[in-house]
Chains A and B, each alone.
Chain A
């Protein structure tokens, strides 16, 4: 079974430019998460989807970040315009909502460098 797939793996952009990340979760997983991991820190949740609905986006900087999960499968996270402080690894994860077992499976991440 394929795991969570993210692309691209690496991205270097100049500040003020837009950037987008793509995630394809594990088949059948209803819940999808986007996390940001700054260097030397643990992942921090940006947004959580249950199917196509964003149920927790309280940590998403909505002035420049947006996300969508059309049809409740794959998802795109966008930053426009990017700032130097956005340099981080962006992780996508998915989980199958079975009872209260909410183990999340993570993709390899997209490492963003803003210069």
Chain B
């Protein structure tokens, strides 16, 4: 069975500073990896995904993530955050043989002026 651990429940950061949101997963099979963002009172929106190929994945809104198979990690980064990036971020995995998405508990990013 797969599981996802988001190591930080909350990340406060000043505007224009860089940020990294950490995600580790466990799985006995190959997986696909996703990051979703959830703004207040909204559904989840896909930021980026890793299916295969280059381990550095670029997504929307200037976010990127790097798949590290040896460390079973998929950390999300942005070099300079904006106030509008304040939201909840969820890391998720799907095993390559199935269609069940397992979500982490989420990391609340709070960008301060």
Q: Which residue from chain B places its CB closest to the CB of A56 in the assembled complex? A: B100
Known: A40-B106, A41-B106, A42-B106. A104 touches B101 (CB 8 A): yes
Residues of chain A with a CB closer than 8 A to B32's CB: 100, 102
Contact, CB under 8 Å: B44 / A43 = yes
Contact, CB under 8 Å: A100 / B96 = yes
Contact, CB under 8 Å: B43 / A100 = no
Interface residue? B65 (CB, 8 A): no
Q: How far is it, in angstroms, between the C-alpha of A107 and the C-alpha of B4 when the chains are bound?
A: 22
Q: Which residue from chain A places its CB closest to the CB of B103 in the assembled complex? A: A42
Report the contact-size class of chain A (Cβ under 8 Å from the partner): 20 to 34
Contact, CB under 8 Å: A108 / B41 = yes
Contact flags (1/0) for B93-111 with A, using CB distance below 8 Å? 0101001110111100000
Which residues between 38 and 91 of chain A lie within 8 Å of chain B, taking CB atoms?
40-45, 48, 56, 91
Which residues between 6 and 21 of chain A lie within 8 Å of chain B, taking CB atoms?
none
Q: Which 5 A-B pairs have the closest CB atoms?
A: A42-B103, A106-B43, A106-B44, A108-B43, A102-B99
Known: A43-B90, A103-B49, A109-B42. 14 other contacts (CB 8 A): A4-B43, A40-B9, A40-B106, A42-B90, A42-B105, A56-B100, A91-B43, A91-B44, A97-B99, A100-B32, A106-B36, A106-B43, A106-B45, A109-B43
